[in-house]
């Protein structure tokens, strides 16, 4: 004995199968394949860059900025993070500590960073700036700005002024 389904049930099943297949195509082409291509493109990058890239709240520009900072600031440098002078996740000192390790991080919540400077070796001190209140007024011409992009970069210490050797000392 053979069971026969009404033609309407077969038609509904065919429609349902078509819509499921269509949904799979949409998910693959709109989400899964582009995401897989981005992941595949990262296979040749360092783990540091990947960790910054995967940080959802950071995006590509802050990751590039962190790489710029790592190139500019020596490992024994002191980094002042004026949280009012930075935008987004860059003003979170714990993230800066992670990405700029082993550099020493000093968080400064004041718009004027002068209270954060006493006791700090200014020849090894770097001040971050990206997007908001520029701390240049409180730096009193002790730093020079290295730009990553407009209104974003790092204040680096001025090179120490050395006088040329005295001519008499050179003849000895």
Asked whether residue 168 carries a pLDDT value surpassing 60, the answer given is no
Contact 109, 86 (CB under 8 A): no
pLDDT at 57: 44
What is the DSSP annotation of 104-159?
Answer: EEEEE-SSS-GGG-TTS-GGGEEEEEESSS-THHHHTTSEEEEEEETTEEEEEEPP
Would you call 82 helix, strand, or coil by DSSP?
strand
**Angle made by CA atoms 82, 86, 88, in degrees to the nearest 5:** 130
- Is residue 49's pLDDT more than 60? yes
- List, as own/partner pairs, every contact residues 14-22 make where C-beta atoms lie below 8 angstroms and the sequence separation is at least 24, other chains included: none
pLDDT band with cut points at 50, 70 and 90 for residue 166: very low
Average model confidence (pLDDT) for the chain? 77
**Separation CA 137–CA 85 (nearest Å):** 12
**Mean pLDDT score, 124-129:** 89
Across 66-84, average pLDDT: 88
From first CA to last CA, the distance across the chain in angstroms is 119
Check: CB of residue 73 under 8 Å from CB of residue 123.
no
pLDDT value for 163: 42
| CA torsion angle 16 21 25 26 (round to 10) | 10
d(CA 117, CA 139): 9
DSSP 36-67: HHHHHHGGGS-HHHHHHHH-TTT-HHHHHHHH
Do the Cβ atoms of 129 and 82 come closer than 8 Å? yes
Q: Which residue has the higher pLDDT, 128 or 138?
A: 128
Q: Which of 7-16, 42-51, 82-91, 133-142 has the highest mean pLDDT?
A: 7-16
Q: What is the pTM of this model?
A: 0.60
Q: Rounded to an integer, what distance in angstroms lies between the CA atom of residue 89 and that of residue 95?
A: 8
Give 26's pLDDT tier (boundaries 50, 70, 90).
Answer: very high
Q: Which of the two residues, 104 and 168, has the higher pLDDT score?
A: 104
């Amino acid at each position: 004995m053979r069971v026969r389904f009404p033609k309407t049930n077969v038609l509904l099943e065919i429609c349902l199968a078509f819509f499921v297949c269509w949904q799979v195509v949409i998910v693959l082409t709109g989400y899964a394949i582009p995401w897989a291509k981005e992941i595949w493109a990262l296979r040749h990058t360092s783990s540091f860059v990947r960790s910054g890239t995967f940080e959802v709240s950071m995006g590509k520009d802050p990751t590039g900025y962190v790489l710029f900072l790592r190139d500019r600031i020596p490992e024994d440098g002191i980094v002042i993070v004026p949280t009012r002078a930075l935008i987004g996740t860059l003003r979170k000192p714990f993230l800066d500590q992670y990405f700029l390790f082993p550099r020493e991080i000093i968080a400064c919540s004041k718009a004027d960073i002068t209270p954060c400077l006493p006791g700090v070796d200014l020849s090894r001190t770097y001040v971050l700036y990206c997007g908001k209140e520029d701390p240049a007024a409180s730096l009193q011409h002790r730093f020079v700005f290295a730009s990553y992009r407009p209104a974003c970069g790092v204040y680096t210490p001025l090179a120490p002024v050395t006088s040329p050797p005295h001519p008499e000392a050179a003849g000895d």
